[in-house]
Each structure stands twice: as C-alpha cells, then as structure tokens.
Structure 1
Amino acid sequence: MSEGTCQRLWESSHVALRELLDREQPLLEPVPERERPSFQYRLASLYLHYLGLLRRFDTIYDQMVQPQKRRLLRRLLDGVAGRVLELKDELVRADLCETHYLDHVLQDLKLTPADLEVSIPKYFLLEQSSAVRERGVMLAEILSRMEPVFSKESAPGMHRTEAIILVQKAERARQGRLRATFMREIRREEERDRRSREDGRHKFGQDYAAVTIQKVWKGYLQRRQTQRDRRTEMEFIGMLPLPSQVEPLNIMFQATLKDDVRRLHQIEKEEEFQAAMAKAHDSLTETEGPDMKEKMKEQIRQWFIECHALTGRFPDYPDESLGGSSLIFADKTPEQVRMELELQAQEGKKREEDKSKEKEKDKKEKKKKGKDEKAKKGEADTVLQVLPSKFVSVISAGHEEYLNTWKNRYDRLYPGENFDSETLREAKRKEVEQEIRIQVDELMRQELKKLRLAVDKEEERPFKAPKKKPGKKTGKKKEKDLTPDRSVDSLYEELVTFGFLKKSETVTLKDYIGDCLYLGSTLTLANKLPMPSLFDIRQNIALYAVLRLGSPDIHAMAPLIRSILLVGPSGMGKKMLVQAVCTETGANLFDLSPGNLLGKYPGKNGTQMIVHMVFKVARLLQPSVIWIGNAEKNFYKKVPKEEREMDPKRIKKDLTKAVKLLMPGDRVMLIGTTEKPQLADMRGLCRVYERILLMPRPDYASRYVLWKHMIETQGGQVTQHLDISALAKVSDGYTPGHILQTIQSVLTKRRLLRLSKRSLVASEFLGHLAKLEPVYREEEESLKDWYFKTPLGKKNMKLSKDQLEAEEAKLAKEKKKRK
C-alpha cells in the first residue's frame, strides 16, 4: 500500500469516526426496560462500527511510515480497541450473556460475518519481538542445563548367542511371509486359469488385444483433453484462476518481503525522528530558553506587583501539584487567580462539612432501609444506561489533533514519509517551556520570600499541603514480598526448573477454526436458547485476553478482567486457546495445575511461596498467562479418596488473594480449564474466575469448516468425490479433537501417496470415527444446567423468563380485546 492510499484510508476512517463520536452522547441517556431490544440494537451497531474502525486503524498503523502520524495513529488505535472492549462489557450487561447474536444487525448494516472478526493489532508482537526472543533463548539455556529428573536406565545387556538367535528368528519370519505371498499369487493365477477353461473362454489374438489397448488409450486421451478444455473454458469465464495467478507461495514470499522492507523503513524513519527531537530540544533550550526564562520571570513579578496593589499583600505562590506558575500564565487577571486559590481552600472546608453531614445521614438512612430499598433497587435495575467511557475522550483528542494538524496540510494529496520539522519544534517548544517553568518556579518562590520580608516585614508562611479529594480509596493493597533478596533471573530459573514456567507452543488464534451461528437472533425470537459457536468462543478469547494483554495502555484503562474459566468437554481445544493467547501476545506461560503441584513445595509455607513467586515473576515479566488445568479440583466440594494425597485444594486461599491483588496495568491473566465443573463449589469458583465461557460441542456449520480445513491441513485434497456435508452431519456430537484424530488415522503417508490415483471418500472416515466416544447429549445438558447456575447464567434465565411472561401477558390482553 502506497503512502497516498494509506492517507486516503486515514481520511475516510476519520469521517466514520466523527459519525461514531456523534452517536456516543445519546447512549448515555437512561432507557426504560421496555426499550431493551432497541437499546441492544444501538449498542450492537456501535460495536460493529468500532470493530471495522479497529481493522482499518490497524492496517493504517502497520502501513504508515511517517513517525509523527504513527504516534497519533497509535493513540487512536489503542483508543478504538479500548472502546471495543467497553462496548463488549456493555453488551454483556445488556444481553446478560457472554455471546451475542448479531446476525440481524449484520443484515441491516449490509455487513458479512467476516466483519465480526476481532482484529488483533500487529504491533503486539512486533514491538516486543526482541524481548520474546531473549526470553526464549534464556528458557532454552535453562532447559539445556537442567539435569534429568529421572535417571535414564541403561538397556539390559544381551549375550551374543541370544542376539544371533533373535536375528535368525526375524529373518526366518520375513522369508516365510515372502514365501506365503508368492504362493498366494500362484494359487490366484491357477484359479483364474481354471475358471477361464470352465467358462470356455479363449485367449485373445494379437490383433484383438492391440485394438483393445488402443481403445483404452484413446479413451484416456480424450477424457484428459475434455478436462483441459473444460478448465480452459472455466478460466476464460472467470470461474477458475489463471495458472499465472496460482502462485500462492511466490505471492506470500513477495508480500512478506515487502512487509520486512517497510518495517525496516519505519525503524529508520523513527531513528531519524528521535535524533531530530534531541537536536530540536537542545537547539530550543540554547536559543529560546533564556528569553522564555526572562519572560516568565517578568510575568510573575508583574503578577506580584498587581496582587500587592489590589490586596495590600503578596499572594501565595501556587503549588506545583496545582500547576505552579502555569495558573499565572493563563488568560486570567491576578484577582481571578487569587479568588480561585481562595475558593479552593473554601471548597476543601465545605467538603469536610458535607462529609460529616453525609455520615450522619447515612446512619439515619440505614435504620429506615428495608422494603423501600428493595423497591428502589428494582427500579434502578429496570433502567438501561451505558457507563461513561474512558476512551471516548482519548479518541476525541486524537480526532481533534488530526483535524488541526494533518487534515488540511499541503502534503495531504502527496504525503511524504519524512517528519515535519515545524510540528516537531512546536511540540518540543512546549516541553522546553514546561522544563523552564519548573526551574523558574523554584527561583521565584525564593524571590517571593525575600519580597515579603523586605516589603511587608513578613516571615515565611507555613505551607499547607492541598487536601486530597474525598472518596473511596483506590490504592493498591500492599503485598508482602516473600523473596526480597532474590533477583528476577534466579526466580525465573527456579520456576523453569520445577516446571511451573513452560514454553508455549506456537498456535495462532486463527488456527482455532469454527463458523459463526447464522440463526442466533431467529432462535432467540422463537424462545429457543442458542448455544455459542466456536467462532464466538474465539472472539471472546480475543476480546477478554488478547487485546487486554497485548497493550499496557489498553489494559490500564479498559474494564478490568483478571481471570477466565473455559468450561467444555475434552477435545474442544481449551488448552489450544491458552497457547494461542501466549502466542498472540508474546506472554509467558505459567502452569499451576494441581497435577503439576504434586510433590513440589510441600506445606503451608511452600504453597504460599510458590503462588507468590509465580505471580511476582508474572508481574515483572509482563504479559503473562497463568494456566490451571482441571480447575475444578482447586474447589472440590468433596475430595475423592484417590486424590487426597495430591491435596488439590492447597492453593485455594492463596490463589484467591493473589488474583484480587491484580490491578489495572498488571498484564497478568489467570485462565482455568475444566471438563467437570459440577464437582466444584460454585461460590469459590465464581469468586476467582470473573468470566466463565461455556464451550459446547460444535454445530453443523463449525463441523463442516473443521472437516474441510483439517483435511487440507493434513495434506489431503477435498474433491467432488468427498461429501463434507455428510461427514459434518454424521459427526454430530464429536469434538474438534475427535475429528482431527480421525483424519490423522485415515491420512497416513501411504494414503497420501495414493491420492492422485484414488480420491478421498466419506466412507473412509466413518470406521475410525465410530471407534471414538462422542460427547453424549446428557453430558452437554449437564454442563448447560451447571452454567445457568452461575451468576450471569441466573440473570440470563431470569431475563428470558420475564420476557416470556411479558409476551404471554400481551397475547392474553389481545385475546380479551378480540372477544
């Protein structure tokens, strides 16, 4: 993509962004419960538009070379990604469900299911590729130095005579098999001759045999020519690509090469820009710095004189926390500045008085609360309203900067890749002014003391620190460091040695194949509860885990999610999704599964130490994923006898405390996976895992895509002879793991070599598929029943029940009117 094309895409993106910003304000107005469908529709529409903007800004940021524009694009990209996460959170609150069925919104907006895909910004991995590489090298070195846990037992020795006898037996068996095969062929030949004599057949003559061979050969040539003619015709009408266009490897290589060249170009321009910034800073400090300093001093001295003339005394110098002398440089008179300082002091006193009054009121209200409180809560719940956004202001500021700086520039039509020196000097001038202002503030505070002493004979006034605004304490709880004298490298090595820090497999999120549910809204209208598809699961993982862990700026401002629980039968790809999160974000993978803790760090202190070490290293080496397989074991209602020695509940308390201490900015996520959540205590499980994602067996659309993709991935060819639709129907109840296992059993090396002679057919897979144990409907229903006992599941069931009752009441009223 050229710089001009990138610029035009940027302009069109800002036009769409302006429309979305205009639609933000109406969403803040409260909506009654009866208008829930329209509220959900507006939310879903805004969510889809922001998803489209996220893809466009990601493309522009990846293609843009000009460093100043890239900085603005980065802020816009993070802002739009954060807004997508906020809208996802609002959709969950509105739908009371983790999955959303937006097919009717897609149809109205004339979009395709591909527009539902969450784009993962490419800079997530590019910017920390060096750190990921260094961690990989360090992990490989530690693993190479590790001593084997179990000593390798040497193979038992064998006497020479025994070895000779063993070889002789094998050779005799081989010769016997060859002899049996030879004799079988002789018997078949004799049987054919006997049958031909009994039927009275005669051997063909030489001429007859030659004519038969010619017929077969000419038929083969004609069929091949017909196939060529048909392909030529299809290529001519555009139904098949031309041979010159079918060069995927060459095209991919060229595209990758161009990407590498462009990124090298981006690095070169960034280095030039950094050098220019340092040079501009030094130049401005030397040339304009002294004049700025003197001008500031004169302004402050004039302010001193004017305040003394108006009030008869010198003013208090504004504190640095309030902005220092920047308050004086604002377009305000000295009297206005003095009044503002006095008002701030008065407001502090009022706040204290109001706080004491509120405490008294709260005490009185607590006594009177009862049924009225429940009624008020019910009324509040019936009102739908979007929470104020933290990212809209960031997006608006970026949009305004684009309008003021880049929209009407002279190089808009033919943009260059070099930085703009005027914009650079203007931005650096503000930084230099800020630095000089701090220096001037220190000097003028001393000068103000001398003036007070010389003119008013006034001693130094006691400084009163500004009081903090009243409100809830949001400070981070202090955690006791159990390893204060240990370095990060030593902790890292210890965790690798004991198997708590593992190397994740390279799996992308796109490898988790699945199609979306096309009739979700239709089933909802028919009062049938649709189950999430594999596509929905992949989207939720991208939103809840990847986007948050990939960027520190997004994580610091987005709605905080500390943990996720993946619930589904074996073979659904739960561990694969954990590996994909690590791959997409470059995160470390920690394993705190009960099986991995067996025999390590025994005792109460040991348990506390290992949880502390894992979370400490995870914070220091962000981003990090802490995985717990068989998560239900940590919260067993009753520990089975065979697992009592394992003590699976040993980290329950420490894990709960550690998860609660994760704050915005700590790019650490706990991901649990479980097949049998019914065995766990619901309250304890939901206290640790904030988001619970149910993964039911795949539907028909997902199975169809899975069969086709996996066969092609394993080296097979999907032809007209292979009925993928029949395979998708027959494999109802089987998981992606079952399908992959079946395909690997069929597509052996020998079968792959014979594909050119004999195409694949559906019947080849049925025998292997029948040997596997499917997920029975009773097991899936058990998981669904458990899920609807979770807090969000209960709310969803209550909402659907209320809607059904409202519809029945409406129908009853209509019947009465007709009578």
Structure 2
Amino acid sequence: MSHQFYSELWLATREDVEKLLRTDQDGLQQEKKGGKSKDKISGQLVTMYIRYRELIRRLALCHDQVCQYQKRELITQVLNCAIGRMLEYKRQLVLYQNTESVYADDVLIPLKLTPDDIGWRKPSYFVTDRQSHLDARKKYINDLIRQKLASAAPQDSRRNSTVIPSRSESEGKMSRKASRLSPRVTEGEIEVNLNLPIRVESPEEAAARIAREELNSAILLIQSHDRARKARIVGAELKRTSDYKKKLANGELVEVKHDKRTKVKAVVTMQKWWRSYATRIHLKERTDRLEAVLGMSIPSWKPHQVFDRDAENFKRIQSMQPVYAAATLAATYAENARLHQIRGPGLMEDITDEVKEWFLLWYNELGFFDAYPSALAGGSILIATGQTRTPEEYHMEQMRKAEEAKKGKGKAAAAAKAKPKVKQRGDKMEEPNTLKGLREANDNFLANWSLRDETGNPHQREYLDLITDKLSYELQLEIREVVDELMRLELATLEAALAKDEAESDGGAKGQKDQKHNKGTNNKKKNKDKAKGTGKAGKKKEQGPTPTIEELFTELVNTGIIREYPDVKMSDWKGDVSYQNTEALREFREPRNCLGDVVQPIMEYCVLPVGSKEIHQVAPLVRSVSIVGLPRSGKSFLVNAICNEIGALLFDLSPKTVAQSYRTKKDLEMLVGSINKVARAYAPSLLFVDAGHQPWWKKVPPEEKQNNPKLLAGPLTKLVKGIRPGDQILFLTTTDQPQKAGKGFMKLHDKFILIPLPDYNTLYLIYKELLMRYHGVDRNFDCSSLASFSVGLPLEEIRNAVENVLTVERRISLKKRTLQPQEIIQYLISNRVQTGTKEYEKLLKWEKKTPLGKRHSKVEAEERAALGGKKMQKVQERQK
C-alpha cells in the first residue's frame, strides 16, 4: 500500500475524531444536567467506549504505516489522548456495571461493527522506536548471565576445541581389512613431518562435522532397514508359493475348480462394489476441491506468499520511518541555527525595549516599579500580552483597601466573595485532560494541515514552514528567559538607585531601614540554607560514593532479580469472546467469561497505560494487577506477552528468587532502593511476583519457611505506593491460591483478572486449528463433540492428546482408516485428565469477596429486590 492510502485513511479517521469530540462534549453537558436512568447512562458509556476502541485501532494502523515525521507526531498526540479517554470511559463503566469486562453485544449491532472491528491493536511505537536499545539491553543481560555461569562452573578448555587425530592414530583405532585395490601403507613407508602444526577445529566446525556424520549414519541406517524390509517381503512371498506347491504335490491340498459362471459372477460383483467405492471417492474428492476453491474448507497448508509480502511491506515502511525522522531532525537543526543567527539578536532587542517601556510606564505614573512577574507565571510574556496590572488598577486597588480598612468590612467582604466561587466550582465540571489534548490536536490539524495540498509531496518529505513556526515559538521562549534574567537584574539596580535617592531625601529613611532589614533577613535565610546544604553534603560524604544506575543494574542481573523472558505475543493467546453475557446480566444470570475476554483487561490495565509515558500520565492510574487462575492456565504466558508488547524490563521479586540473595530487612531496603532507581531509569518496568499470595500467607507451610516470604510484604507495599503517574511501572502478580492470602493481598492490588476455564467456543477453535494441520484428517471432522467433552480441560493436555494420538504410524494410515473423535476422547479418559471445576468454583467464591465483587453482589441483590417488588404489585393488581 502507498503513502496515499494511509494519508487518506488518516484524513477519514481525523473526521471521525472531530465527530467524536462533539459527541463527547454533548455527553459532558448532559451529564451536568443529570436526570437520566442508570441503564441509559451505561448504554451511552458503552457506545462511546466502543467508538474509541474502533478509532484507536485505525489510528494505530495509520501511525504504524505513515512515514512523514511531522504527521506521525500529530497522530501520536491524537492516539495517546484517545487511549487515555477510552481508559477513562472504561473506569466509569466499571463503576456502573461492577465488572472488569465490558459486554457490548447489543451496542455493536446498531453501530454495524463486528468483534474483529474493535479488536486490539497495540501502537508499534511502544517497541519499534527503541528496538535497538532493547536489543542491546537483552544482549547485555545475556552476557552477564553467561559470565556468571562461567565463573560459577568454569569449563575445561578442551571442550571448546576439538583436535583432529592424525591419519596413523585414526587407522590404529579403526580395525578394518585392507582392500586389494588399495593396499594399506605400512608405518615404515609413512614420512612423518614433525614440523607441521596440528590443525585445531573451532567449536562451529566440530559441530558441523558431527552433524554431517550423524546425518550420514542415519541415512545408512534407514537404507539398510528398508532393504531388509523389502527382502523379508520377497522371501515371505517365495516361501508361501513354495509351501503351496509342495502341499499340492504331496496331496495335502486339492485344487478347487469353479464353474465359469461362478467366476464371472464373482468378477461382476467385485467390479460393481469397486466401481461404487471408486465413484464415492471421486465424488468426495471433487466436492473437496470445489469447497477448497470456494474457501469453504480448511486447508492443511496455506500459501504464505501474500502474507509474507504484506509483512515485508509493513516492515519496509517501518524501516523507512527512522530515515524520515533523521531527515526531519537534520532540517530542524539547520533551521534552528539559522533562526538563532538571523532572528535572535533582533528579537532580544524587541523584548528588552518592551520591558523597559513597562518600567518607564510605572515610574512615570507612580514613581516606583511593580514586581517583575515570576518565571512560573510566565515572566515577560504577561507583560507582552497585557496580563499584568496597570498603574491605574494599582491605584484603584489601594483606594479600595483604604476604604475597607476604614469600614472594617474586609473579612466579611472576603467571605462573601469566597462563597460564590465555591458555587461556581460546583456548577462547573472540569474537562478531562485527554479531551483537551484531543481538541488541541484537532485545532493543530485545522490550523496547519487542513488547507495543505499534499499532492505536490508524493514522497512525504518534511514541511519547512511548520518547522520554522515551531522553532520561532521555541526561540521566543528561550530568548525571553534570557531577557527576564537580565531585566530582573536591571530592575534590582533601578530599585537600589531609587532607594538611594529616597534615602537622601527626608522621607526615604524609613524605606531604607525596611530595605536593610529585609536584606538582613534574606542574608540570614541564605546562611541557614548554606549551613543546611553543607550539613547534608557532609552526611553524604560520610556515606561514601553512591553506586551508579549501571552498577545497580549489573547487581540485580547477577542476583537474578532482572531476567530475560521468552518471545511471545498477545496475538498468540487463543480464545473466543463471549456473545451472550449482555442477556445474562439483564436476566440476572451470572455472566461467564471466555478465554478471549482475558485480553481486554490485560490490554487496558497492563499494556496500553504502561507502554507510553504520555498515556501513563493522563490515563487512570493502575499501580498493581493480579492475574488469578488455575495451574497451567496461561498465567506465565500472559506475563511474558505483556513484557514483549511494551518492551518492559522484568524484575522477578518472587520469594524464591529474592531469598537467594536478600534475607534480612536491611538487604530488602537496599533492594527496594535499587529497584526504584533502575525501574524508573529503564522504564517501562514490570515488578513481577510469582505465587503472589505467598508474602501475605495466612499460615506459611513448613516447606516454605526457609524462604521467609512474609518478610517481602512490607517492601512490596512500599514499592507499589511509590508508583506515580508517568513512572511507567506496573506491579504484577500471578497466583492460583488467592484464598490463602490475608487482607493485605487484596488491599494492595487495584485490579484482579481471573482466567476462566476453557469454554466450548475456544475449544472448538483449538481443535480445528490442531487437527486441520494434518492433510489426512477429514475437513468435516466432528470437532463439536470433542469440544463439548473437553470443556474445562487444560489446553496443554488437549495439545498433548492430539499429538500423541496422531503419531507417525497413525498419520500414515489416515487415508485408509479415518480419524474418529472417540480416539482422542479415549486417550483423555485413559490418561485421567480431569477438569478443574471444583478449584475454579473456589476462585469464583473468592472473587465475590473482592471489593468489586462485593459491590456487584450488593447492587444485584438490590435490583432483584426492586424487580421482585414490582412483580408482586402486578400480581396483586391482577388479583383485584
């Protein structure tokens, strides 16, 4: 696809952003008025949430495939704010519906969307913009681990190199007869040259030679066995024929002679049955070919040329993005130098003259100078925009204060003014920062991009006018800071000269004393601050040099706290979403999540907020998440997938890992300090605890007392409470026994994600994917019965069952003997694979004890009671 396609897609998406902004603003105004039912508000929230999800998917695609750097900056701003706004709607939905999963079955139909249209697409800049940094970090960690293993168990140098034995040595070891055509050379005839160096193989060459030898020996073994098999078949046939002839000759067997009619009838019967069988096979093959052409069957192998070509195009465009970015930065540096040289001096003179005029205005009107605006307030920008008070306003303010002092109503007036301000704050609803960011990005587009004709820029080069405008604004701010410092010094000089002139006159002595007094107090404060600073510096010197971030990083890698993780993605998580939970909630039935529903909270709480600093600053803060599920349910897979999706640095704080190097409270305090520094320096970071219930165990088992897991509770709580917006740090735990933990475990975590048992929809897809890989399996295989039987079984056991049933021998015989569902069912029964229904019910009971579960149960009970009362009223009315 070309640049033009993605540019048009961005323009269409931008129009949808503008429409969504209007709808969002109208929703805020209606929310101020109130008066809506809970169901109507919840429906509007779900609609806005779904529309933002669909918008984020398109924006992420545009950002991944647009090369123009300035346009990508604008899309990034829109994308970050859209993700933050979507997460805000998710938080409101959780408060209204009291569930972590959003069920939008009834909303997708009027919006004409499918679940695939709102599927999750992570922005690639979470990882691609720092891919080289991630690769270097991974290599550094692996090198440190390799060095640690090498120092712990040094290897013999002989293992790293293989000496090839000489010909005489190899011939001495090998005992085989000499050939007549090539007689063996005796030792006396061999001329030994001791000066020749011994050739030493490298480990790679030795491995290649061993692989070749093993391959050749395997081929020879297969050939010899195949020849023996054919010889046995021929020998058995010859022996059978010989035995038959001997029995006929000895009279043991009498050859039966059939009538010609009987033979013809038998031949006709065999031909009839064979032709009917061949016709059925032919018709089935023709039907299979037709279904394959129409795309109605699942092929065992799909050509990957189209997919590979699309993937190459995507990667090619993404590889071009750094080139465009470098070109834009180079143009920015050149333009910045030019503006500093051309516009800098004149701009400084203009700002200086403007401030000096403000000085003269105050001095001519009142005879003194006003306070210079602070840097935090804006400095000389307030003077240029006229936001500072004028001499007339100052004079009126002094007169008003004098009148109030005379009447003694200053406090009452201040209190009367404070009351309406409070009411105004209550009437006004603050606009979310995400909505402000979206509006600013939209205004930026309207101002700089709406009237721009891009047909003259087919190669998507940078626009110098945008660079110049941006740098001119930054140059003005930079020069204003310099001018503000100079003008503050000049103002101090003028005030000192004015104070000196007033001191010479009769009325200026008092002002001079006050000024001297203020100087003295300021000097005392400075001396105190200096004394405090020297004291702190002295304490730091006594403590010794603090370790650097790199040293702390190396220490954490060597102790096993920082480790690498396998390369898996969220797209590898197999599972279907639920389609009837909306109806279940209306009928007060307990909704049942599917495995595909797990992706939603994982993306919203663990991936999207932590992947970008801008999103983490504006999105609702989620410090800690716990993934709860049965053993072998995929908890570790989800943790590794989260790390890969955001390129996170993984800190393994499991009790077993920590207990190896940190056993005392002092050691744990040092560990917390090191993690705080390294996690923020290498953000995004993931603080992971496997078996997260152990630090809050109600009763520690005897076999776990050596790890002292309860000692970790305090440091982990301190780490979680220290997470702030913008840190890009997430505390993540996995557990299969949360009911054994105390209340501290529940209080520490903000969100709980429960992995459900494998459901029918997911199992049907899994069986289809596993079985349709084999060419001999019928394309209309009955996967429905298998999925119904396997509900609740671990997916790992199902994969093992399919692999063990479809062995090489069974695959060879698939053409003659088709696969039946009973074979896989029999394997599962014989291996006593059990469902975790009872254990999962315990997790469901525990989930109802969480804060969100308690609120959900309470609201459901109230709604049922209200609904029951209405039904009773209708029954009584009917009886009357």
TM range, smaller chain: 0.7 to 0.9
> 2:337 is matched with which residue?
282
Structure 1 distance, partners of 2:604, 2:571, is: 14
Deviation by residue 1:130-170 (Cα, 9 ceiling, x = unmatched): 1110111112211221237986999xxxxxxxxxxxxxxxx
Structure 1 distance, partners of 2:148, 2:254, is: 76
Candidates 669, 690, 698, aligned match of 2:750: 690
> 1:130 is matched with which residue?
132
> 1:23 is matched with which residue?
23
Counterpart secondary structure, 2:626 = strand
CA contact (8 A) 1:27 1:386 kept: no
Kindly indicate whether residue 63 of structure 2 is the aligned counterpart of residue 3 of structure 1: no
CA contact (8 A) 2:616 2:725 kept: yes
Counterpart secondary structure, 2:352 = helix
> 2:853 is matched with which residue?
793
> 1:490 is matched with which residue?
551
Structure 1 distance, partners of 2:554, 2:70, is: 41
> Which deviates the most, 597-606 or 665-674?
597-606
Deviation by residue 1:640-687 (Cα, 9 ceiling, x = unmatched): 233333322221111111211111122222211111211111x11112
Deviation by residue 1:333-367 (Cα, 9 ceiling, x = unmatched): 86289659989xx9xxxxx999x999xx9xxxxxx
Structure 2 distance, partners of 1:590, 1:62, is: 29
CA contact (8 A) 1:565 1:692 kept: yes
> 1:105 is matched with which residue?
107
Structure 2 distance, partners of 1:644, 1:333, is: 68
CA contact (8 A) 1:4 1:413 kept: no
> 2:116 is matched with which residue?
114
Counterpart secondary structure, 2:486 = helix
Query: 5 Å matches for 1:728-743?
Result: 728-743=787-802
Candidates 707, 711, 728, aligned match of 1:646: 707
Change (3 A) 1:151 1:14: closer
Kindly indicate whether residue 468 of structure 2 is the aligned counterpart of residue 422 of structure 1: no
Candidates 77, 80, 92, aligned match of 2:79: 77
Change (3 A) 1:320 1:614: closer
Structure 1 distance, partners of 2:298, 2:786, is: 28
Change (3 A) 1:745 1:234: closer
Kindly indicate whether residue 450 of structure 2 is the aligned counterpart of residue 407 of structure 1: yes
How far apart are 1:753 and its partner, in Å?
Answer: 5.8
Structure 2 distance, partners of 1:666, 1:787, is: 29
Kindly indicate whether residue 864 of structure 2 is the aligned counterpart of residue 804 of structure 1: yes
Deviation by residue 1:36-59 (Cα, 9 ceiling, x = unmatched): 111111111000100111011111
User: Across the two proteins, how many residue pairs are aligned to each other?
Assistant: 745
CA contact (8 A) 1:591 1:626 kept: yes
Change (3 A) 1:237 1:576: closer
Structure 2 distance, partners of 1:222, 1:418, is: 65
> 2:665 is matched with which residue?
604
Change (3 A) 1:656 1:551: same
Structure 1 distance, partners of 2:641, 2:40, is: 36
Deviation by residue 1:726-755 (Cα, 9 ceiling, x = unmatched): 111000221223323323333445545665
Kindly indicate whether residue 530 of structure 2 is the aligned counterpart of residue 530 of structure 1: no
Give 5+ residue unaligned stretches, structure 2: 157-224, 402-409, 420-427, 503-511, 523-538
Structure index of larger Rg:
2
Structure 1 distance, partners of 2:552, 2:712, is: 19
Structure 1 distance, partners of 2:411, 2:545, is: 44
CA contact (8 A) 2:101 2:600 kept: no
> 1:376 is matched with which residue?
none
Candidates 563, 570, 594, aligned match of 1:509: 570
Change (3 A) 1:775 1:298: same
CA contact (8 A) 2:382 2:388 kept: no
Change (3 A) 1:641 1:263: closer
**Given residue 430 of structure 1, which amino acid in structure 2 is its aligned partner?**
Y
Kindly indicate whether residue 647 of structure 2 is the aligned counterpart of residue 586 of structure 1: yes
> 1:444 is matched with which residue?
487
Structure 2 distance, partners of 1:337, 1:744, is: 90
Structure 1 distance, partners of 2:391, 2:316, is: 57
CA contact (8 A) 1:721 1:761 kept: no
Return the TM-score normalized by structure 1.
Answer: 0.81
Structure 1 distance, partners of 2:302, 2:825, is: 35
**Given residue 487 of structure 2, which amino acid in structure 1 is its aligned partner?**
M
Counterpart secondary structure, 2:698 = coil
> 1:560 is matched with which residue?
621
Identity within the alignment, %: 29
How far apart are 1:311 and its partner, in Å?
Answer: 3.1
> Which deviates the most, 602-611 or 428-437?
602-611
Structure 2 distance, partners of 1:644, 1:25, is: 57
> 2:213 is matched with which residue?
none
Structure 2 distance, partners of 1:695, 1:571, is: 11
Structure 1 distance, partners of 2:818, 2:549, is: 56
> 1:367 is matched with which residue?
none
**Given residue 335 of structure 1, which amino acid in structure 2 is its aligned partner?**
T
Change (3 A) 1:34 1:197: farther
Counterpart secondary structure, 1:127 = helix
> Which deviates the most, 256-265 or 436-445?
256-265
Change (3 A) 1:747 1:83: farther
Kindly indicate whether residue 770 of structure 2 is the aligned counterpart of residue 727 of structure 1: no
Query: 5 Å matches for 1:193-204?
Result: none
Structure 2 distance, partners of 1:728, 1:198, is: 58
CA contact (8 A) 1:281 1:428 kept: yes
Kindly indicate whether residue 691 of structure 2 is the aligned counterpart of residue 630 of structure 1: yes
Counterpart secondary structure, 2:454 = coil
Query: 5 Å matches for 1:212-231?
Result: 226=283, 230=287
CA contact (8 A) 2:776 2:815 kept: no
Return the TM-score normalized by structure 2.
Answer: 0.76
Kindly indicate whether residue 308 of structure 2 is the aligned counterpart of residue 253 of structure 1: yes
Kindly indicate whether residue 346 of structure 2 is the aligned counterpart of residue 291 of structure 1: yes
> Which deviates the most, 394-403 or 414-423?
414-423
**Given residue 311 of structure 2, which amino acid in structure 1 is its aligned partner?**
T
Change (3 A) 1:149 1:578: farther
How far apart are 1:584 and its partner, in Å?
Answer: 0.8
Query: 5 Å matches for 1:339-488?
Result: 389-411=432-454, 416-454=459-497, 457=501, 485-488=546-549
Change (3 A) 1:727 1:200: farther
Change (3 A) 1:257 1:810: same
How far apart are 1:537 and its partner, in Å?
Answer: 0.9
Structure 2 distance, partners of 1:127, 1:809, is: 59
> 2:633 is matched with which residue?
572
Change (3 A) 1:650 1:106: same
> 1:265 is matched with which residue?
320
> 1:470 is matched with which residue?
none
How far apart are 1:65 and its partner, in Å?
Answer: 1.6
Change (3 A) 1:645 1:421: closer
CA contact (8 A) 1:564 1:689 kept: yes
Kindly indicate whether residue 734 of structure 2 is the aligned counterpart of residue 673 of structure 1: yes
Structure 2 distance, partners of 1:616, 1:735, is: 40
**Given residue 365 of structure 2, which amino acid in structure 1 is its aligned partner?**
L
Structure 2 distance, partners of 1:94, 1:435, is: 48
Counterpart secondary structure, 2:711 = coil
Change (3 A) 1:484 1:807: farther
Kindly indicate whether residue 360 of structure 2 is the aligned counterpart of residue 317 of structure 1: no
CA contact (8 A) 1:7 1:415 kept: no
Deviation by residue 1:248-270 (Cα, 9 ceiling, x = unmatched): 42223322322233223322221
Query: 5 Å matches for 1:101-180?
Result: 101-147=103-149
Change (3 A) 1:132 1:307: same
> Which deviates the most, 249-258 or 62-71?
249-258
Structure 1 distance, partners of 2:130, 2:263, is: 76
Change (3 A) 1:36 1:108: same
Counterpart secondary structure, 2:731 = strand
Change (3 A) 1:430 1:144: same
Structure 1 distance, partners of 2:333, 2:644, is: 36
